[in-house]
Structure 1
Amino acid sequence: MYISVRKNSLSAKWALNIFTSMLFACSPAAVSAINNQYDALIIEARKGNTQPALTWFSENTDLNNNQIADWLQISAWSGQDHQVVEIYNRYRNHHLPVRGYAAVAIAYRNLQQWQKSLALWQKVVSQEPQNKDYRRGQILTLADAGKYDEALNKLQQLKREYPDNANLLAEAYIYKLSGRHQDELLAITESLPASASPVRYSPEYVQALRNNQLSAVIDDTHLTPDVRADIHAELVRLSFMPTRSENERYDISDRALALYAELEAQWKNNPDVIQQYQRIQIDHLGALLTRDRYKEAIAHYQRIKHSVDVIPPWAQYWVASAYLRDHQPEKAQAMMTALFYHQDQLVAGLSEEESADLFYSHLESENYSSALTVTQHTLNTTPAYRRIMGSPLAIPNDKWLQSYSFLSAISQYGNDLPHAEALTHDLASKAPGNQGLRIDYASVLQARGLPRAAETELKKAEVLEPGNITLEVEQAWTALTLQEWQQAKVLTEDVVTRKPQDPAVQRLQRAVDVHDLAELRVAGSVGLDSDGPDNGNHDVNLTSVVYSPPINENWRGFAGFGFADGQFSEGKGIVRDWLTGVEWRSRDLWWEAEFSGRYFNHETKPGARLSGWYDFNDNWRIGTEFERISHRVPLRAMKNGITGNSAQAYLRWYQNERRQYTGGWAFTDFSDGNERNEAFISGQERVWSSPNLIVDFQPSIWYGQNTKKDTPYYNPEKTLDIVPAFEVNHLLWRNYENSWQQTFSAGVGTSWQKNYGTDLITQVGYGQRVAWNDVIDAGATLRWEKRPYDGDREHNLYVEFDMTFKF
């Protein structure tokens, strides 16, 4: 159609009507007989069933010019603009009937290829200058191309030759595009029949009044309170409809809110309009919801629920949606359950949005069984394809796709990420033109710790609609994971500017704000009971480091303090550390350089550390650390005046959250001449996962050897530890970014020491961890282990703790 590029805009519907008659007036049949097969196909195409004719054309190559023109027109009727252009390019050397070139001009206009469209319109009009529909097509395309003056000149000539209302509507269209809203209003007013009542004016006329800031003409004395309440309700309904931009939708909401404020001031204490006043109070909930003012919608509901006679179900649904977006899923779930269940059965006919809100109210309330019920109900009652009246083609059913998105979300919340990945990958690969499915797939990859793979998928999705807010939010999260700080901030600033009240946008903004905070890290351990030679009795270790906010995105400075002490047979060992340094964080790379002053054995020595890692891809990382006056030297050695320097390297392979292994080597050069070499392999295999419980198998192998004997610290010549262990993480409570979990761990292995044989190692641990508001992550674990030292099994009971606080 002539204006299909604007067919979603209410303000352009009248322009669509200008040429409807033209498309059906010109007969596509070149022959007059109606009893042969070809004519039957053409007649069927006129009725809307275009596919049989299109199939016939595609199967027949020997077509005359009239048949080619028929093919072009029928393809245009079916909305296949690209196919129209392809057919035209194939037969462009033919001398076609004028109607064929007109169909191609329409297709080029729909594709916004204005110059090509205008070139064909010129050809069409030159051959049939008396056809006013062709001339209007040329005029409107000139307006689309921004050639307003030329379009108006041609229109004035057409009006002189063929005066009718269609010309006035075309004139209003040109004025609207050129921003001449006063002239737009005049043209539309002249097109109205003389007997028209203001109440029955078209939406185009109402929009013209609003473009001229003349809403009072409609909303004041001309209308009854019922009609004014209807106008407010209509604005609210329009605010829920898709628009070309977020700002347009917000504009409608703002007009509804402004009208509500005006009417409330007039009607609040007027007993004659109490019914209308209650209506606008209820409709006000919808305007607040579409303006993303969720807290205000909830507060307004609390104010009116006892004063309004009846709050209808659709308004209660608005309130439930506000509760859900305000992170109060339990209240949302209670309201939606009352609305959408009847005797524990889901009611039929829920819209996509209603199904989604009900589903996520269950899911975010940790009610997985009900979320699964909604999903299964949708799958069982929704076909994969649906048909539109008048079209022979079946199209994919978005609601059916939504149910599979629900399955993916359940799998993610339930810690079954492999299933979530399989679902989203299958959907995205089968529907490459569906941007939302591609974004869902990328989100699962990100959740699995594969940000680069997610980034690739998001780049594919970007081709379809680069400005999609959901896409940009997901790209920003991926950028944060990849330490692409500048990219994350640019994307975040864009979505915050466009949709600041959206919960997903606010969540992203919170993450960026937290990234820009200073950070305190505290970690350590306290020995409760030990008879081993390694740690001493009642040992205490503590390290605290404060990081500055980011400097030039990638840099942070830090400073800290640490100490360690323990009681040995030769006395108490004490170490005090003062440290300062810088940290660098960028894509694929992290490193820290630290300078420290270490006080021990009544003297202070300068220490230094350089640590770093590099990611080759999502799966492989290499890391290293070099340290002078190393922390790898035992406290007992430093008590006896022995220090050391160390170097270590490791290689990590990460498949996904369910499997990873790390192998490393460390060398420590002691000041007493001892050289210690250590090698290790550790891994993690997930053996069980459910929404609240995760069980991991954690095997580890450690080998160490020393070159010197008879040292004052524990220093076995050669030793090998093999300890398979299990760790169980149990989620006790979760509310969005806040969580509380407990951890159980246990391991049984063997330790071999040269000259002392093999003995048993047993380990048990219990801990709890709390995460709060993105700024606090703290945990403590009580551990007990028993292992051999020089052939004697000795125990160690201690508490480990760590905390990260951003401020």
Structure 2
Amino acid sequence: MSLKPPRAARAPRGRLCLALLLALQGPLAHALDAPAGRDALMAQIRQERDAGRRVDALAHCQALLDRWPDDREAQALNVTLLTELGASTRAGELASALRPAPGVAERFHLDADHVAQEIRWAEGEPADPKHPYAEADRAVADARQLVDDPLLPADLRQRAEFDLLVALDRAGRAEEAVARYDALKAKGVALPPYVERAVADALLVRRRPAEAARLYEDSIAKDPGPYDVTESEPRIGLMYAYLESGQTRKAIQTIDELAAREPTWRRIPGIRLPLQNPRKVDADLNAATLREYVDMPAEAYARLEPMRREAPANAQIRRELGMVELARGWPRRAQDDFNIAATLDRRDLGAYIGEADAARVLNDYEGVDENLAMAQTLGDRNGRVDRAVKAWDRERGWQFDLATEQGKGSSPDFGDRDGTTQATIASPLIDDHWRVLALGRYSTADLPEGDVRRSRVGLGVRGYARGLEAYVQVLPATDRYVGKTALEAGFDWSITDHWAWAADFSTAGEDTPLRAQYYGISAKTLDTAVTWRASELTQARVGLSRDRFTDGNTRTGWLANVIQRLHTAPNLTIDGGVELGGSMNTRTDRPYFNPRRDYSYALTGRLENLLGQFYERNVTQRVDVAVGQYAEKGFATDWMATVRYGQTIQTAPGFRLGWGLGWHNQPYDGRREHRVVLDLTLHWGE
């Protein structure tokens, strides 16, 4: 897992410049209307600068120069104020015209101020959205030139090195930033808070979250805020550092405390109505996003939906809402919000990645490349786009699956020992709609009558369309028991975000009991199911099956269940449910287990949680329990139970291993039987 906080909104430069111009007009007019002596005016300028009122100070400095244009002190102060207000280019032009010319130390100070302002300028929206790092790259180039200058005074060299670290972070050059930080750390150099925050950002990108957390903590201890409007809130970065280093509880506490502390509205002197506090929006947005990251999408949605209603034109909120809707199993709704987010902000690469992810969930592969290409044009040096592209390359590439079950017990259909293995290899996507499959199946059982096996090898084709996956496959038998080729077809259709319908047909179904296989009996099987899914919290399913055996028997079965989320905590879920089922057979005098009628019900439970994670590597565990009753016509009703424990281990992107150990006990023809099963799975692809 690699996380990236939603990007804070940035003020367009045109509006910043206009605001500066308008702000200058009032003080400038006042200065011209109120003549004063040169020394008094200079004293006023310095007082205003010391008080942080640089716009007023600049206006009065301009007024002083209008009256005394050759005043060297005022000229130098004018350059300083322009630099501090971000007009470093103009400041440099005026500095070169100073007479006498600035000394070496003063020139380096001006260059350092120029670099600092370039770094601040790089925080704004890029002039060209297709080259989002152009301004930051210029800051890096100028900062590196300053650091490498052998004439740079010693008292400025460390400041220049610090500014270079910040510039590298702004430019998305985390690798170099971290390398330079490591070198400074080896020398025992202590970083000021603003540099610690930048280095912590870079450490997060380089996947060193524990170190990033320590730097964030130290920077906040030294400088707890409030921070300048051009600076991001370091506690949001700290939240992600805690999360990625496995300190989930600290992550939640940090962002919740920040969200609670930030006021919803801010009052600005001179403005009658209060303004919305953007830092409050950022804190609330990240608090919701964190819930989605720790598998609590319902709570994330409950936080984001009111924000969306209050600010329907906020692209960040729309994008994060889409991510949560995707996690809740609503890809169509998510696509709508991603599309709105991309319309509101054409520079929001997260919206394009989200649209691609939703299309992949829906098997609507035609538009994935287009959305990812758009994200790539916007540029992203923290690896987010690159990871999305690699995930898509894995999904449309080769896929391999292997699953096996090895059972031991006394079940009438499985014997004392049994085993089933299936391997599937799928070709890369063809024209965004097709794959060619090669399949192999092998099943064995040790029956009282003797050993039996069923083996098939064949080819198939899968087709994909929006919300639909269908397949056709042919699997000739390679065993001596039935020798019948299985022709199979089926589909899985996601009709809406809430309704799905699936069906499977085979001329020699794999569900046919192995005891029937021993006696040369096969069956045509048809299974269909309808699923209603409100969200990850609630779902219901009804399935029907019809098996026509070659010995004249027809079996009809049904199975229904309802599953409800009972508890959700960070990276942990507990579900409960009810399962009902039954079957009937037209013939009972057959060699395999074949009751005239039977019914069952069970109360089910499932616990699933994340045991550990470091980005794409993770281990999850799952416990399944079912307890109920089984009733077979002609025999007494008795209890039945199933318990299974399993783990899934992802060692790298696209590579997963799974194992599980289960136990099942129920009566068959009035005699209690049990079975222990070890299952193993492997997946390679995406």
Normalised TM-score (structure 1):
0.71
Matches within 5 A, 1:393-432: 393-432=273-312
Q: Which residue of the other structure, out of 637, 645, 661, is the alignment partner of 1:766?
A: 645
CA contact (8 A) 1:580 1:595 kept: yes
Q: Which amino acid aligns with 2:264?
A: A
Q: For 2:170 and 2:200, locate their aligned partners in 1 and report how far apart those are by CA, in whole Å.
A: 13
Q: For 1:265 and 1:430, locate their aligned partners in 2 and report how far apart those are by CA, in whole Å.
A: 50
CA contact (8 A) 1:540 1:565 kept: yes
Write the deviation string for residues 544-597 of structure 1: whole angstroms up to 9, x where unpaired: 000111111121111021211111112110111102111112211110111111
Asked if 1:389 is matched to 2:394, the reply is no
Q: Which residue of the other structure, out of 659, 662, 670, is the alignment partner of 2:538?
A: 659
Q: Which residue of 2 aligns with 1:297?
A: 177
Quickly say closer, same or farther: Cα 1:552–1:400, change in 2 above 3 A: same
Q: Give 1:779 shift.
A: 1.2
CA contact (8 A) 1:219 1:228 kept: no
Tell me the number of residue pairs that the alignment of Structure 1 and Structure 2 aligns: 622
Q: Which 10-residue stretch deviates more, 333-342 or 511-520?
A: 333-342
RMSD of equivalent CA atoms: 3.2
Q: For 2:256 and 2:490, locate their aligned partners in 1 and report how far apart those are by CA, in whole Å.
A: 51
Q: Which residue of the other structure, out of 135, 156, 162, is the alignment partner of 1:252?
A: 135
Q: Give 1:294 shift.
A: 1.5
Q: For 2:210 and 2:631, locate their aligned partners in 1 and report how far apart those are by CA, in whole Å.
A: 55
Q: Which residue of 2 aligns with 1:9?
A: 14
Q: Which amino acid aligns with 1:8?
A: R
CA contact (8 A) 2:362 2:468 kept: no
Q: For 1:631 and 1:378, locate their aligned partners in 2 and report how far apart those are by CA, in whole Å.
A: 57
Q: Give 1:10 shift.
A: 8.9
Normalised TM-score (structure 2):
0.83
**SS of residue paired to 2:344:** coil
Q: Which residue of 1 aligns with 2:122?
A: 239
Asked if 1:225 is matched to 2:108, the reply is yes
Matches within 5 A, 1:485-504: 485-504=365-384
Write the deviation string for residues 746-789 of structure 1: whole angstroms up to 9, x where unpaired: 22111111111211102111111112333112211111111111
Q: Which amino acid aligns with 2:113?
A: D
Q: Give 1:435 shift.
A: 2.2
Q: Which amino acid aligns with 2:13?
A: N
CA contact (8 A) 2:132 2:378 kept: no
Quickly say closer, same or farther: Cα 1:757–1:7, change in 2 above 3 A: closer
Matches within 5 A, 1:185-200: none
Asked if 1:443 is matched to 2:317, the reply is no
Matches within 5 A, 1:521-560: 521-527=401-407, 529-560=408-439
Q: Give 1:199 shift.
A: 6.5
Q: Give 1:319 shift.
A: 1.0
Asked if 1:738 is matched to 2:617, the reply is yes
Q: For 1:310 and 1:802, locate their aligned partners in 2 and report how far apart those are by CA, in whole Å.
A: 50
Asked if 1:477 is matched to 2:482, the reply is no
Larger C-alpha radius of gyration, 1 or 2?
1
Q: Which amino acid aligns with 1:381?
A: R
Q: Percent identical across equivalent pairs? A: 23
Quickly say closer, same or farther: Cα 1:534–1:793, change in 2 above 3 A: same
**SS of residue paired to 2:134:** helix
Asked if 1:582 is matched to 2:461, the reply is yes
Q: Which residue of 1 aligns with 2:601?
A: 722
Q: Which 10-residue stretch deviates more, 690-699 or 7-16?
A: 7-16
Q: Give 1:661 shift.
A: 1.3
Q: For 2:480 and 2:540, locate their aligned partners in 1 and report how far apart those are by CA, in whole Å.
A: 39
Q: Give 1:652 shift.
A: 0.6
CA contact (8 A) 1:548 1:557 kept: yes
Write the deviation string for residues 102-153 of structure 1: whole angstroms up to 9, x where unpaired: xxxxxxxxxxxxxxxxxxxxxxxxxxxxxxxxxxxxxxxxxxxxxxxxxxxx
Q: Which residue of 1 aligns with 2:48?
A: none
CA contact (8 A) 2:79 2:92 kept: no
Q: Give 1:653 shift.
A: 0.5
User: Higher relative contact order by CA 8 Å / sep ≥ 6: 1 or 2?
Assistant: 2
CA contact (8 A) 1:352 1:402 kept: no
**SS of residue paired to 1:749:** strand
Q: Which residue of 1 aligns with 2:192?
A: 312
Q: Which residue of the other structure, out of 658, 674, 677, is the alignment partner of 2:556?
A: 677
Q: Which residue of the other structure, out of 672, 675, 682, is the alignment partner of 1:796?
A: 675
Q: Give 1:466 shift.
A: 3.6
The answer to which structure has the higher helix fraction is 1
Q: Which amino acid aligns with 2:107?
A: T
Q: Give 1:470 shift.
A: 2.8
Q: For 1:348 and 1:24, locate their aligned partners in 2 and report how far apart those are by CA, in whole Å.
A: 35
Q: Which residue of the other structure, out of 619, 632, 653, is the alignment partner of 1:753?
A: 632
Q: Which amino acid aligns with 1:349?
A: P
Q: For 2:125 and 2:217, locate their aligned partners in 1 and report how far apart those are by CA, in whole Å.
A: 27
Q: Give 1:611 shift.
A: 1.1
